[in-house]
Structure 1
Amino acid sequence: MKLFSDTIRTIERSLDYSALKHEITAQNIANADTPNYKGKQVTFQKALNEALSASTLRVSDDRHITNGQKRDSAVISANRQVQYAHNGNNVDIDKEMSDLAANQIYYSLLTDRLSGKFQSLQNVIKGGK
């Protein structure tokens, strides 16, 4: 018997992505004035693909994505093409703060969804009371 659904595993992986995104964004903010520091970013699509590859996808049409397709993992990369400051730094503090706020909302949404899943399990365990 499977105790936890694939949804919970997907939420767990999404929380891991959000935590990584927060860590990288915090590093960028902390190094906003560091000479020659190149801001880093986490590629969302690869993290999403990793989360989806772990879950079972229901295919109702031949054109849908299947679990057999190769998925990549999350990637942290530095943007070396843009330079905002005269000291070689390329961190845009306004963009980083905006990304941090968006990620905080995303993380909050995920924790609410996970809490709802566990409340549903608790309701089942109590017999619907």
Structure 2
Amino acid sequence: MNTSFAKTIDILQRNMATASLRRQVIANNIANAETPDFKRSYVNFEAELSRALASEKLDTPIGVLTHERHIPFSETIDYRDVRPKLVLDYLTAAKNNGNNVDIERELMQATENQMLYELMSNAVGFQFDQIDIVLR
């Protein structure tokens, strides 16, 4: 069943699961804010999901493959194959002890993440409210 409703609910569910994972990662970063040589982590998901959804819209191939072993010009990425990735941030250094956790940034991201989770939860509720209206 690949309806618009099912796809919307699936994407919202995946985003909510990612937000839950992100909450755990942010909590771990905050807990280790004073640990020497600790490197903060973050979750990468939305960019890959956006790329997968954009690839579904490509109807016409950019080029024609003349052999099965040629590298394709563009590939459709199934959004269901996109998974959240935990990434270690080695590029920034906020403190002299090698720790790169900025507590203010983490708290801001925790608040933003919580707001996004609530928004997605409300969107799921709205989707089911629409079904309820149709069934009445």
TM-score by length of 2: 0.72
Q: Distance in 1 between matches of 2:82 and 2:116?
A: 22
Matched, 1:96 2:97: no
Higher relative contact order (CA 8 A, sep 6+): 2
Report the counterpart of residue 46 of structure 1 in structure 2.
48
Where in structure 2 are there 5+ consecutive unaligned residues? 62-73
Report Cα offsets for 1:72-110 as digits up to 9, x if no partner: 532111112322122221101111111111111111110
Match of 1:111 among 121, 126, 131: 121
Identity %: 28
Using the alignment, how far apart are the partners of 1:67 and 1:6 within structure 2?
20
C-alpha distance in structure 1 between counterparts of 2:40 and 2:33, whole Å: 8
Q: CA RMSD in A?
A: 2.8
Instruction: Judge which range, 36-45 or 68-77, deviates more.
Output: 68-77
Q: Against the structure 1 CA distance between its residues 69 and 48, is the aligned structure 2 distance closer, same or farther, given a 3 Å change threshold?
A: closer
- Counterpart of 1:101, as a letter, is T
Cα distance in structure 2, aligned partners of 1:68 and 1:2: 16
Q: How many residues align?
A: 119
Structure 1 length normalisation: TM-score?
A: 0.75
What is the Cα deviation at residue 43 of structure 1?
1.3
Q: For residue 114 of structure 2, what is the amino acid of its counterpart?
A: Q
Aligned to 2:65: none
What one-letter code is carried by the residue in structure 2 that aligns with 1:118? F
Indicate yes or no: 2:91 matched with 1:81.
yes
* Structure 1: unaligned runs, 5 residues or longer: none
Which SS does the other structure have where 1:32 is aligned?
coil
